Amino acid sequence: MATKNKTPVSVVTGGAGFLGSHLCDRLLAEGHRVIALDNLLTGNTDNIAHLAGNRRFTFIKHNVTQYIYLPGCVDYIFHFASPASPIDYLELPIQTLKVGSLGTMNCLGLAKAKGATFLLASTSECYGDPLQHPQKETYWGNVNPIGPRGVYDEAKRFAEAMTMAYHRYHGVDTKIVRIFNTYGPRMRLRDGRVVPAFIGQALKGKPLTVFGDGSQTRSFTYVTDEIDGIWRLSQAKYHEPVNIGNPTEFTILEFAGLVRKLLGSKSRVIRKPLPVDDPKQRRPDITLARKLLGWEPKVGLEDGLRRTIEYFRGRIG
């Protein structure tokens, strides 16, 4: 648990990634000292360059599938290290499995040794191509363990099981957040997810690529909302998974139309075959987050997309 009467120390694995870097910002704003670990496989030091010179922030290049040694006290460990987009985990299948298994084990071992609170960044992918809609935390999922997406889905499902085992057997104070589609500044253009894909294509005047007929649905959570839910969960006395996501649902075709409208783009839509095991529906039930954390998303999709578009506009030039 967090130690009283001193500056809390938080470790963020994947701290140079999209979500990890925003989490570092929030923890620093909450008065923590932050140690970010990242092997930069998919992370980028540009995401934390603004923290250079901050005396309460330390960056260490490290692969968490290797033993983690940190001197001194640690109060919180946020395990966010993992390839997290379809392109990443299809190109890096073994690394994805290793960071979800060995990486989680090493981080939990550190939490046990330090008496720290441990928060696992899990994912809505645990639900697979869901047969329940919207998805509640009690739903066990519909996952193909040997499909191409299985390396990510099963890595996170294993990580959840390991986290609960450390809680039940060793008494570690653990939390599990199931993160639904999150977007915002610091995403990579070549990410494989629909937000940077459509924005990047539209800014370049290229066609927007829709897979399948575009009727599949997604919900989109702006990054500040997601991080706020994660922070609140880290302070809660609760150990089982909690969905943090936006329950407002859009078809991919609706989303393509919104991106074109906001950019005044004339980019046409082209269709390609639907990838294997691509979820047809994805929408969180956030009843638990509302009740337990007093949390719900505040940033509307148009507002969040405008902020994200400006970020990418600056990157494309």
Residue pair 243/180 in contact by the 8 Å Cβ criterion: yes
Q: Is 152 a catalytic residue?
A: yes
- Which value, to the nearest 10 degrees, does the dihedral of the CA atoms of residues 98, 100, 101, 104 take? 120
Q: Terminus-to-terminus CA distance in the chain, angstroms?
A: 46
- Which value, to the nearest 10 degrees, does the dihedral of the CA atoms of residues 43, 46, 50, 56 take? 30
- pLDDT for 110-148, tens place per residue? 999 999 999 999 999 999 989 999 999 999 999 999 998
User: Within 10 Å of residue 17's Cβ, how many Cβ atoms?
Assistant: 30
Give the pLDDT confidence score for residue 2 in this predicted structure: 46
Q: Which amino acid is at 91?
A: E
Three-state DSSP at 240 gives coil
Give the pLDDT confidence score for residue 1 in this predicted structure: 47
Q: Calculate the CA 98 to chain-centre distance.
A: 17
User: Cβ-count burial of 174 within 10 angstroms (0-12 exposed, 13-18 middle, 19+ buried)?
Assistant: buried
User: All domains of the chain, ordered by start, with CATH?
Assistant: 9-183+221-247+283-298 (3.40.50.720), 194-216+249-282+304-312 (3.90.25.10)
Give the pLDDT confidence score for residue 317 in this predicted structure: 61
Which residues pair with residue 60 across a beta bridge?
A: 37
- pLDDT for 29-85, tens place per residue? 999 999 999 999 999 999 999 999 999 999 999 999 999 999 999 999 999 999 988
Candidates 76, 89, 127, 152; catalytic one: 152
Report the predicted TM-score, pTM, of the whole model to 2 decimal places: 0.95
DSSP 120-152: EEEEGGGGBS-SSSSBPTT---B--TTSTTHHH
| 278 or 194, higher pLDDT | 194
Residue pair 255/198 in contact by the 8 Å Cβ criterion: yes
- pLDDT for 180-201, tens place per residue? 999 999 999 888 889 999 999 9
CA neighbours closer than 13 Å in the CB half-sphere of residue 310: 5
Give the pLDDT confidence score for residue 277 in this predicted structure: 66
